[in-house]
Structure 1
Amino acid sequence: MTLYRKIQAVERVFKGLEKDVAAFKHVTRLECLVGCGKCCNKPDISASPLEFLPFAYHLYKRGLALEYLDRIKDHPNSNCIVLSPLLIPDKPGFCSEYPYRGLICRLFGFSAALNKYGNPELVTCKSIKETYPDAVEKANSHIMEGKDTPIMRHYYFKLQSIDGDLCSKLMPINKAIEEALKIVLSYYAYRRPRSA
């Protein structure tokens, strides 16, 4: 599979996930707190290079890939490089590249993980639990009743089927972005990017 086809496949997974999360949020009434961003404000978020290939390709097409590589080299152990310190007007939060965020960014707060017994449990933050206890209770009931719920593992399996090696390499989020950028830059060093 060509790199461009991998990028398209990842984008299809994300598009399906967006629909699933929107439906889950609609039914449960779960939502993020306006102006929060605490979940993103951590340097230890893990991700894979595969989930950031669409972002890397987006930066490459805009001529910003090398600039972002330099930014990562200057701040290797910091919070995600696309996290804005201020709330961005007309954006859903603090992410300056929200449409290109990774899988964990899309899943956290509005999905379930399987516990050691194989049962799904809501994965959300303390702030949502404390602010919207009724919605959290509704989400937990929804999950326990076996209704449609985004399950983290299922989406990681979908990515795994696109490229098992790139998906299984979990690393700090900036390192994952850096690896994705290097993959895109090396692939297109002697090729022209597709017009998309």
Structure 2
Amino acid sequence: MSIYYKVKAVERVFNGLEKDIKSFQQNTGLNCVSGCGLCCHNPNITATALEFLPFAYDLFKRDMAYQWLEDLTENSGGLCKIFRPLLTESDRGFCGHYQYRGLICRAFGFSAMKNKHGNPTLVTCKPIKSEFNDEYNRAVEHINNNGNAPLMSNYYYQLRAIDSDLGREHLPINEAINMAVKTVLAYYSYRKPRRA
């Protein structure tokens, strides 16, 4: 499968996740704390390269892939390179490329994971639990009563079905972005990019 079609397949998975999260939020009232961004301050976030293939493809189309590759190679540790810790007046959030954020960035706070007993458990943060306590409790009850909740592992399986190599290994987030950029650049080193 070409990079272009992999990007489109990843975007379809993300679109499905967004619909499921929206439905879950409507059923529970759960939302992020406005202006928080605390989850992005974690330097230990991991992701797969496949999650950032759409971002890498966009960088390639805008002739920015080599610039990002150089920066990511020199500075691979720490906080996500897409994260903007200082907001300006025109910013709508902390993610510098919100439409290209990874699966973990999309799902955290509004999805579930199976616990050791195989039961779904809400994956969220302390600010949501404390600021939206009633909604948090409603979400937990919703999940416990077999209400629909996005199950994070289902979306990772869908990604792995697109590309088992790029969707398997969870790396520190900047390494995942770096690998996605390298993958796009390697693919197009001897091919003409698709016009889209």
Which whole-Å CA distance do the structure 1 matches of 2:82 and 2:150 have between them?
A: 25
Per the alignment, residue 109 of structure 1 pairs with 109
Identity over the aligned pairs, expressed in percent?
51
Which whole-Å CA distance do the structure 2 matches of 1:71 and 1:35 have between them?
A: 27
Change (3 A) 1:89 1:24: farther
Which whole-Å CA distance do the structure 1 matches of 2:111 and 2:90 have between them?
A: 25
Which whole-Å CA distance do the structure 1 matches of 2:88 and 2:55 have between them?
A: 19
**Shift of residue 91 of structure 1?**
4.7
**Shift of residue 175 of structure 1?**
0.2
Task: Say which SS state the counterpart of residue 96 (structure 1) adopts.
Answer: coil
The root-mean-square deviation of aligned C-alpha atoms, in Å, is 1.1
Question: Does residue 1:13 correspond to 2:13, yes or no?
Answer: yes
Instruction: Tell me the alpha carbon deviations over residues 58-91 of structure 1, each in whole angstroms, 9 at most, x when there is no partner.
Output: 0000111011112212321120001002125455
Runs ≥4 residues deviating over 6 A: none
Per the alignment, residue 87 of structure 1 pairs with 87
* Correspondence list, 1:16-165, <5 A: 16-89=16-89, 91-165=91-165
Per the alignment, residue 187 of structure 1 pairs with 187
Contact kept in structure 2, 1:88 and 1:96, CA below 8 Å: no
Q: Which amino acid aligns with 1:195?
A: R
Q: Which amino acid aligns with 2:155?
A: Y
Which whole-Å CA distance do the structure 1 matches of 2:88 and 2:132 have between them?
A: 24
Contact kept in structure 2, 1:88 and 1:94, CA below 8 Å: no
Q: Which amino acid aligns with 2:58?
A: H
Q: Which amino acid aligns with 1:75?
A: N
Which 10-residue stretch deviates more, 66-75 or 182-191?
66-75
Q: Which amino acid aligns with 2:101?
A: R
Which 10-residue stretch deviates more, 74-83 or 11-20?
74-83
Q: Which runs of 5+ in 2 are unaligned?
A: none
Q: Which amino acid aligns with 1:14?
A: F
Give the length in aligned residue pairs. Answer: 196
Which whole-Å CA distance do the structure 2 matches of 1:89 and 1:146 have between them?
A: 42
Change (3 A) 1:90 1:147: farther
Per the alignment, residue 169 of structure 2 pairs with 169
